[in-house]
Amino acid sequence: MSANIHVVPAGEGWAVEAAGSGRRTFYVTQEEAIRAGWDRAKKDKVELLIHNRNGQLHGRNSLGHDPRDAKG
């Protein structure tokens, strides 16, 4: 299963990264990063987690995999 996608602050801009990958793609605005993160999370059927400037979780969206639906 793919890792969840995070939109995080990165210097003066924003970045999109898969959890634990250590690789980031950088964007100038948060809106650009959210669009790119949304597309990637939807493709990978994982959650998109959006952080604010302080690094705190600001919002999330399940795009094909909702952990609340897990059985067991």
Reported as a single tens digit per residue, the pLDDT across 23-37 is 999 999 999 999 999
Is the pLDDT reported for residue 9 higher than 60? yes
Question: Which residue has tokens 């939109």?
Answer: 7
Q: What is the pTM of this model?
A: 0.80
Pairwise CA distance, residues 66 & 69, whole Å: 6
Positive or negative, the Cα torsion across 15, 57, 66, 29?
A: negative
Is the pLDDT reported for residue 12 higher than 90? yes
Instruction: Quick: pLDDT tens for 42-72.
Output: 999 999 999 999 878 878 777 665 555 554 4
Contact status, residue 7 vs residue 15, Cβ threshold 8 Å: yes
